[in-house]
Amino acid sequence: DAGVTQSPTHLIKTRGQQVTLRCSPKSGHDTVSWYQQALGQGPQFIFQYYEEEERQRGNFPDRFSGHQFPNYSSELNVNALLLGDSALYLCASSSGPGSAGEYFGPGTRLLVL
Partner 1 sequence: GESVGLHLPTLSVQEGDNSIINCAYSNSASDYFIWYKQESGKGPQFIIDIRSNMDKRQGQRVTVLLNKTVKHLSLQIAATQPGDSAVYFCAETRGGYNKLIFGAGTRLAVHP
Residue 113, C-beta contacts closer than 8 angstroms, at least 6 positions apart: 12, 13, 14, 15, 83
Residue 102 contacts partner 1 per CB under 8 A: yes
With respect to partner 1, which residue has the nearer C-beta, 66 or 105?
105
Residue 112 contacts partner 1 per CB under 8 A: no
Q: Which stretch binds partner 1 (CB under 8 A): 11-19, 62-70, 74-82, 90-98?
A: 90-98
Residue 74 contacts partner 1 per CB under 8 A: no
Enumerate binding residues for partner 1 (CB under 8 A).
4, 31, 33, 35, 40-45, 48, 55-56, 58, 90, 92, 94, 97-107
